[in-house]
Amino acid sequence: MGSFFILKRVYAHCDIPCGIYDPHTAQIAALTVLRMLELLGDSKNAHDIARYVVVKEEHAEKCKNEVRIIWGDFFKAEGSNAEVDRLVHQIMELASKARQGSERKCGEDLVDAVNRFAELFWVKSGIGTKSVTAPYKVKAKMVIPEL
């Protein structure tokens, strides 16, 4: 007997789609990667090193996932944008490289790329941005919306 429905697994930020997107989560994840890289550079304790590596890898993947969602659901909804497409590819590469290594520079580059992505997101949303120093233990710049 045939089925009335063909079920397919779908992965998305929101199945509706809800239209609620914000690059802040990707920025926090990128800043966390950078902070873990800083801590790795200062640590000699094997237990701490193991914990920093796990957190760094989790947040690098979270960054990639958040950027993919916004890219696929928000930016791609209105067609292709060469700068955004190149930037997303760069973020994917940098986050993977951060997972694999321990160089602080890679974390800095990831934060910079995600900040540019956030800037493009807010500009496309019709909202201006500004760059501020992150209010966290990691001292890096963040692009935030001017609300």
Summary mean pLDDT of the chain: 90
pLDDT > 60? residue 7? no
Coil, strand or helix: which one is 46?
Answer: helix
CATH number (3.10.20.30, 1.10.260.40, 1.10.3720.10, 1.20.120.400) of 24-145 reads 1.20.120.400
The model's confidence at residue 10, banded by pLDDT at 50, 70 and 90, is very low
The two three-digit tokens of residue 102, written as one number: 């321990």
Phi, psi of 26 (to 5 degrees): -65, -40
Note the pLDDT of residue 17: 65
Phi, psi of 51 (to 5 degrees): -65, -45
- State the pTM of this model: 0.87
Higher pLDDT, 127 or 7: 127
Domain boundaries, the chain: 24-145
